[in-house]
Amino acid sequence: MANRKKKLGKSKARPRAADYTSPARLEKIFAGLDQLFPQAQCALRHENAFQLLVATILSAQCTDERVNKVTPELFAKYPAAEDFAALPQSVLEQEIRSTGFFRNKAKNLIGAAKKIVSDFRGQVPRTMEEMLTLPGVARKTANVVLGTAFGLPTGVVVDTHVFRIARRLKLSKQKTPEKVEQNLIKLVPEDRWISFGHQVIWFGRKICHARRPLCPDCPLEPICDSPDKTV
């Protein structure tokens, strides 16, 4: 029995569940993200809120790189909501075909543009409630536009990267983006909601990859005990 107690005493203590969201651990996460991406910004190229809305809708199930190849010519032809609202769906489908799911995206883009023109005088609305009335817009898209275009912290963007990393770092055990966001809103200070989303997205792209995270290069490695770790 004595030998057994000695062996157990040498085992590495794992954090209690409550420790994963302790203020001290959260500060280490914020500091690590600040170290890696102090000036993190949205990767989607845009010149105004409507263009960002279009690009964000196009980015569903598509890479930002692909979207950024499509949008310059698209916005040169159709710069405003009024232009999109007047487009036949078949025409827009061909313009955005390479982004995938182009039929549904074209339908939503035209529907959103028409509603912006008819209900909001051609301007992208600035509240979550109004944004969610636009076709093709859920909380992720609304948070991207409201945070990036207007600087309004309405929530935390939860895309595939943020969803994965929040669970890896045990900031949430939830299984839907909406519920993960609600957990993050409680843990992340409001003045970090916008920057935190951008930072974690870049963190997921550059370091915390889905299949093989670059743990030796990660400043968060000492406080992460994910089973996906590569060290």
- Any idea what the CATH number is for the domain that residue 207 is in? 1.10.1670.10
Q: Is the Cα dihedral 143, 146, 147, 153 positive or negative?
A: negative
Residue found under tokens 């990393």: 165
Whole-number pLDDT of residue 8: 41
pTM above 0.85, yes or no: yes
State whether 146 and 160 are in the same domain. no
Given 132, 150, 168, the domain boundary residue is: 150
**Chosen domain end from 95, 117, 150:** 150
Task: Return the number of other C-beta atoms located less than 10 Å from residue 176's C-beta.
Answer: 10
Q: Is residue 217 part of a domain?
A: yes
Q: Which residues are the active-site residues?
A: 140, 159
3-class SS of residue 146: helix
pLDDT at 29: 98
Is there a single domain that holds both residue 76 and residue 99? yes
For residue 28, being part of any structural domain is answered with no
- 4 is a domain residue: no
Do 127 and 169 sit in the same domain of this protein? no
40 lies in some domain: no
- Statement to judge: residues 145 and 56 lie in one domain: yes
**Please, which residues have CB within 8 angstroms of residue 25's CB and are 6 or more apart in sequence?**
15, 19, 223
Residue 2 confidence (pLDDT) above 60: no
| 126 and 77 belong to one structural domain | yes
Asked whether residue 10 carries a pLDDT value surpassing 90, the answer given is: no
Residues 45-67, mean pLDDT to the nearest whole number:
97
**pLDDT, tens only, 163-222:** 999 999 999 999 999 999 999 999 999 999 999 999 999 999 999 999 999 999 999 999
Q: pLDDT band for position 16 (50/70/90)? A: low
For residue 53, the domain's CATH number is: 1.10.340.30
End-to-end CA gap in the chain: 33
Residue 17 has pLDDT above 60, yes or no: no
* pLDDT band at residue 18 under the 50/70/90 scheme: low
Q: Are residues 87 and 105 in the same domain?
A: yes
pLDDT of the residue at 231: 74
How far apart CA 171 and CA 206 sit, in angstroms, is: 20
User: Is it the case that residue 7 has pLDDT exceeding 80?
Assistant: no
Domain span at 106: 49-150
Domain-located, residue 2? no
How many separate helices (H) and strands (E) can be counted in the chain?
A: 12, 0
- Of 150, 169, 196, the position where a domain reaches its end is 150
**Residue 105 CA to chain centroid, in angstroms?**
18
Closest CA to 156 of 63, 71, 73, 33: 33
Are 172 and 20 within 8 A, CB to CB?
A: no
**Predicted local confidence at residue 15, as pLDDT:** 52
Q: Indicate the pLDDT class of residue 138, thresholds 50, 70 and 90.
A: very high
Number of domains in the chain: 2
Give me the chain's average pLDDT, please.
93
**pLDDT above 80 for 131:** yes
Location of structure tokens 């409630």: 129
- Residue 159: predicted pLDDT: 95
- The count of other CB atoms within 10 Å of the CB of residue 152 is 17
| Cα 202 from Cα 196, distance rounded (Å) | 10
